Amino acid sequence: MNKNYYALIMAGGVGSRFWPASRTDYPKQFIDFFGVGKTLIQSTYDRFLKVCPPENIFIVTNEIYTDLIKQQLPDLCENQILGEPLLRNTAPCIAYGCLKISELNPDAQIVVAPSDHTISNSEGFLSAINQALKASTENNTLITLGIKPSRADTGYGYIQYTDHNLKSDKDLHKVKTFTEKPNLELAKSFIQSGDFLWNSGIFIWSAKSILSSFEKHLPDMHEIFIAGKNAMNSDREKSFINNAYLQCTNISIDFGIMEKADNVYVLPADFGWSDLGTWASIYDMADKDYVGNVVIPSEHVIMYDSSNCMVNVPKDKLVILRGLHDFVVVENDNILMICPRDEEQKVKEVVADVKSRFGTKFI
C-alpha cells in the first residue's frame, strides 16, 4: 500500500434534511440508516482502509463530535481527529487538513471525501480512486470524481466537461463549468447534452497542488493557515486552529477554488454512489417490499393498504399504518414527522420553522 496516499474525511455536517433522525447532537454520519451494523462514517472509513494505511486516514469534524468519532472509530489516534471550533464550510476544513498532512509528508497524495455518502460498488470505487491518485501523482492537477447521471435530479450539483483530456490519462476530462443544484428544466437539458456529470464532492490532489491553489485563489485563507504550519501536529495546533477559524470566511472549496482554477479535471465514474442528501435517497437505495415500502427497522411496523412509503421509527415502537401512500414517516425521541415523499426536500424549511418557534430544543 502506497505510504504517500492519504484520506481526509469530512464529518462536520449536521444533516438537517434528515431531521428528526439527524439532530445537532447526533447527526446523520453517525447513524446506521440501513440497519447493516455500520454507520455511514464507519463504512466510509472502512472503504479507505483499502486505499491507504490506517495511520494515513484523518477525520475533520466539528469539535463537539470528537467523542462520537472516538467511539465509532476507536482505532484512530488523537492526531488523526481534527476538531473544528466553528462551522466555516469546506474550504477552511480542507485547508486545515491538507496543510496538516503536508507537514507530515510533503509528497502526500490526498483523497478528500464526505463521511456520509454510500457506495454500492466498492471495487469500482477503489478503481476510480486509484486511477485518480496515479494521475495526481504524475500531474499538477485538481481532480474530482463525476458520477454518470441516471436522471435529471435537482438535488445534485453538476459538472460540465470538455473534450480536452489529460495527456497521461485520456479518461480524465478538463472541467468547463460547475452548476449547483439546477431547476428541473435545466437539469433535463444537462442530461440531454451528454457532457454533464453529478458532482460527487470527492476530490483527489497532491498536497503541493492544493496548497498552491489556496495561495493563488484564496490568498487570505492561505496566509491564515500557512502562518501556523509549524504548529501542525504539535501541542500548539489546537490553539492556533481556534484562532485561525475566527479569521476565516465561510466558503466552499467548489466556489473558492474549483470554479476558478485552470487545472481541474474530472474522472467520469459509476460505482453506485449516493450522497444521501434526503429521505428520498434512503428510499431509493433501500430494499423495498412488494408494494414499494421501505421500513427500517421493520420488526414492529404493520402496514395495511399502504404503498411506496419510507418509514423510520424506533425499533421497540409498535407502529400501525393504514391507507398511507407515498409518505415519509420518521420518529426519533420526542419528534414525529409525517410528510408526502415529494415534499421531503422542504424538511430544512420545517427545521427552520421549528427552531424559530421552539428554539434549539427539538433541533
pLDDT tens digit string along 41-94? 999 999 999 999 999 999 999 999 999 999 999 999 999 999 999 989 999 999
Q: In the chain, how many domains are there? A: 2
Q: Region 334-350: what's the mean pLDDT?
A: 88
**Do the domain assignments include residue 363?**
no
Looking at the fold, whether 110 and 201 belong to one and the same domain comes out as yes
On the 0-12 / 13-18 / 19+ scale of CB atoms within 10 A, 196 is buried
In whole angstroms, how far apart are CA 35 and each of 271, 295, 352?
21, 10, 29
| pLDDT above 80 for 131 | yes
The backbone torsions φ and ψ at residue 173, rounded to the nearest 5 degrees and listed phi first, read -110, 145
CATH number of the structural domain spanning residue 218? 3.90.550.10
Domain that holds residue 338: 279-358
Burial per residue of 12-36, b for 16 or more beta-carbon CB atoms within 10 angstroms, e otherwise: bbbbbbbbbbbbeebbbbbbebbee
The backbone torsions φ and ψ at residue 37, rounded to the nearest 5 degrees and listed phi first, read 90, 0
| pLDDT above 80 for 144 | yes
Looking at the fold, whether 306 and 287 belong to one and the same domain comes out as yes
CB atoms within 10 A of CB 123: 10
**Do the domain assignments include residue 181?**
yes
pLDDT tens digit string along 149-197? 988 887 889 999 999 999 899 999 999 999 988 888 899 999 988 899 9
Q: What whole-number distance in Å separates Cα of residue 158 and Cα of residue 289? A: 32
Locate 108 and state its grid cell. Answer: 502526500
Locate 315 and state its grid cell. Answer: 425499533
Does the predicted model carry a pTM greater than 0.85? yes
Where is the domain boundary, 241, 258, 274? Answer: 274
Looking at the fold, whether 206 and 227 belong to one and the same domain comes out as yes
Looking at the fold, whether 153 and 292 belong to one and the same domain comes out as no
Q: Which amino acid is at 197?
A: L
Looking at the fold, whether 268 and 293 belong to one and the same domain comes out as no
Q: What whole-number distance in Å separates Cα of residue 355 and Cα of residue 33? A: 24
